[in-house]
Structure 1
Amino acid sequence: MTSPLTDIAGSIGRVVVHITRERLGADRRTSDPAVVPPSARAVTPQWLTGVLCRDVPGAMVIDVEAGEGHNGTSARLPLRVVYNSVGQAAGLPTSLFTKATSTFTSRLLMGVTEIVEGEAIFYNRARPTLDLRSPRAFYAGYDPHTYRSLLLLEDLGPQGWTFPAPMTNTVTRRDAETMVEQLATYHGGLWDSPRLRAGGDLAGLRGATAWQEKLNPISYRKRTLVGLERARHVVPDEVYARRGGMHDAFMRALHLHDLAPQTLLHQDVHLGNWLRDPDGAMGLYDWQCVARGNWALDVSYALSVALPIEDRRAWEADLLRHYLDRLRAHGVAEPPSFDEAMLAYRRQPLHALTLALFSIGGTRFENKLQPQGYMMWAIERIARFVADMETFDVLR
Structure 2
Amino acid sequence: MPTSNDEVLVVEAPDEVTPRWMTRALGTGGTDVEIAALRFEPIGTGQTGASYRFHLEPAPGQTAGPAPATVVLKMHAGDRVARARICRAYRQETGFYQTFASSTRMQIPRCWSAAISADSLSYTLVLEDAAPARPGRQVDGCTADQATLAVRNLAGLHAPFWGDPDLQGRAAWLRRADDETLRFQQSLFLGAADGFVGRYAAELSAADSATLLRCAEEFFRWGQGIRHHSSLIHGDYRLDNLLFDEHGHVVTVDWQTLEEGFPGRDLAYFLSTALPPADRRRHEVALVAAYHQRLVELGVDGYSADDCFTDYRLGMLHGPMTTMIGCMYAAGPRSADSDEMFLSMAANSAAAIRDLATFDLVPPA
Query: What's the TM-score, normalizing by structure 1?
Result: 0.78
Structure 2 residue 150 is the aligned partner of structure 1 residue 179: yes
- 1:1-396 equivalences in 2 (<5 Å): 34=8, 36-54=10-28, 59-69=33-43, 70-85=45-60, 90-104=65-79, 107-111=83-87, 114-157=88-131, 160-168=132-140, 170-172=142-144, 174-198=145-169, 201-202=170-171, 204-208=173-177, 216=185, 219=188, 221-241=190-210, 245-258=214-227, 260-338=228-306, 340-362=307-329, 366-368=332-334, 371-395=338-362, 396=364
User: Who is 2:3 aligned against?
Assistant: none
- Structure with the greater relative contact order (CA < 8 A, sep ≥ 6): 1 or 2? 2
Counterpart Cα distance in 1 of 2:235 and 2:32: 41
Please report how far the alpha carbon of residue 265 of structure 1 lies from its aligned counterpart in structure 2 after TM superposition: 0.5
Q: How much is the aligned-residue C-alpha RMSD, in angstroms?
A: 3.2
Please report how far the alpha carbon of residue 55 of structure 1 lies from its aligned counterpart in structure 2 after TM superposition: 7.3
Counterpart Cα distance in 1 of 2:20 and 2:186: 40
Please report how far the alpha carbon of residue 266 of structure 1 lies from its aligned counterpart in structure 2 after TM superposition: 0.8
273 and 366 in structure 1: CA distance in 2 versus 1, 3 angstrom threshold: closer
2:73 partner letter: T
Q: Kindly tell me the number of residue pairs found equivalent between the two proteins.
A: 355
Secondary structure of the 2:52 match is strand
383 and 118 in structure 1: CA distance in 2 versus 1, 3 angstrom threshold: same
2:143 partner letter: V
Please report how far the alpha carbon of residue 333 of structure 1 lies from its aligned counterpart in structure 2 after TM superposition: 1.6
Counterpart Cα distance in 2 of 1:242 and 1:169: 22
Counterpart Cα distance in 2 of 1:233 and 1:98: 41
Range with greater deviation from structure 2 (89-98 or 37-46)? 37-46
CA offset digits 1:229-260 (Å, max 9, x no partner) = 223345442342355553342233223333x2
Counterpart Cα distance in 1 of 2:30 and 2:296: 41
Structure 1: gaps of 5 or more residues: 1-31
361 and 61 in structure 1: CA distance in 2 versus 1, 3 angstrom threshold: same
Secondary structure of the 2:66 match is coil
Counterpart Cα distance in 1 of 2:11 and 2:179: 28
Please report how far the alpha carbon of residue 304 of structure 1 lies from its aligned counterpart in structure 2 after TM superposition: 0.1
User: Who is 1:24 aligned against?
Assistant: none
- Quick check: 1:74–1:106 contact (8 Å CA) kept in 2? no
Secondary structure of the 1:133 match is coil
Counterpart Cα distance in 2 of 1:316 and 1:176: 10
98 and 227 in structure 1: CA distance in 2 versus 1, 3 angstrom threshold: farther
